[in-house]
Amino acid sequence: MELLDNAGRYNSSTDVDFIWRIDGDQLVVTIRNKARALMPPAKAVSRIAAMTPEEITDAFKGDK
């Protein structure tokens, strides 16, 4: 919950919507990501999703 609260509070992008509501005795959190496939961050996520854990580790070591 803390991470969702921080994401909603400090999100400077309009690409993600956070909606909080109480429905009876439940807290309902809806998160909508409006990123499009043509957006550079979406491309980066796609590339990372296709990597093996070893490739991800190597890519983020920073010593290349």
Average pLDDT, the chain: 79
For residue 64, with 0-12 CB atoms within 10 Å meaning exposed, 13-18 middle and 19 or more buried, which class applies? Answer: exposed
Q: Is 16 helix (H, G, I), strand (E, B) or coil?
A: strand
CA distance 19 to 14: 13
CA distance 35 to 33: 6
Question: How much is the pLDDT for 38?
Answer: 62
pLDDT in tens, 26-46: 999 888 877 666 666 777 888
Is 16 within 8 Å of 3 (Cβ atoms)? no
